[in-house]
Amino acid sequence: MHDAANDLNACGIRCTPQRLEVYSALQRCLGHPTAEELHRLVTERRQARGEAGSVSLATVYNTLEALCGLGLARRLPGPRAGLSGAAECRAARYEAAGREHYHAYTPDGSAHDIPEDLGRRMREAIPEELLREFEARTGLRASRVVIEVESDGAA
C-alpha cells in the first residue's frame, strides 16, 4: 500500500486529517465504493476509534474529486444512462488508482474487476485499423478505448 500522506503531499494537495482518512479508506477498500459508502466507512472507523467529530459527506465528495484530478483515484465510468434501466440514478463509484483494468457492471449497480490479462486481451481484440477508421469517419482521435461489460447476472 502507498503511503497516503506522501502521495497527497507529492501532489501538492493540502494533507488534512480528513482528506487523509478518505484516501486511506479508499485505498483499503477492495471494492468500488460510492462516496456515500466511503463516508459510512470513514464514519464507522472514527466511531470505532472513539474519535470526536466527523468527516462530512461534502468533504468525502470534494476529496474524491481532488484525488481523481491528481490521478490518485479514478471515477469509474459506470453504466450509462439509458443503457440499463435506472442507471442514470446510480451514484458514481471510485477506486484508488493502480494498475489499469476494466469493469463489468451488474444490475445492482456494482462494479466487478475484469482480470487484467483478460481485459487487455479483450481490448487488443479491437484491431488498430478499426480505430483508424473510427478517427477517419468521426474526425475524433481515439486517445483511449476502454472495455466495459454489462452483465444481467450469472452466466
Q: Which helix (H) or strand (E) holds 112?
A: strand 111-113
Mapped onto helix, strand or coil, the DSSP state of residue 118 is helix
Q: Which of 37, 113, 148, 150 binds Zn ion (CB under 5 A)?
A: 113
Closest CB 30 distance from Zn ion, rounded Å: 9
CB of 101 to Zn ion, least distance (A): 6
Q: Which is nearer to Zn ion, 116 or 133 (CB)?
A: 116
Interactions with Zn ion, residue window 44-103 (CB under 5 A): 95
How far apart CA 151 and CA 89 sit, in angstroms, is: 18
CB of 31 to Zn ion, least distance (A): 8
Q: At 126, phi and psi to the nearest 5?
A: -85, 110
Q: How far is the CB of 98 from Zn ion (least distance, A)?
A: 8
Angle at 154 between CA 148 and CA 155, to 5 degrees: 80
Comparison of 122 and 131: residue with beta carbon closer to Zn ion: 122
Taking CB positions, which residue lies at the least distance from Zn ion?
113
* Grid cell of 118 as nine digits: 483478460
Stretch that binds Zn ion, among 3-11, 35-43, 112-120, 140-148 (CB under 5 A): 112-120
64 vs 95: CA distance, rounded Å = 9
Asked if residue 148 binds Zn ion (CB under 5 A), the reply is no
Residue 8 has φ and ψ, to the nearest 5°, of -65, -45
Residues that bind Zn ion (CB under 5 A): 95, 113
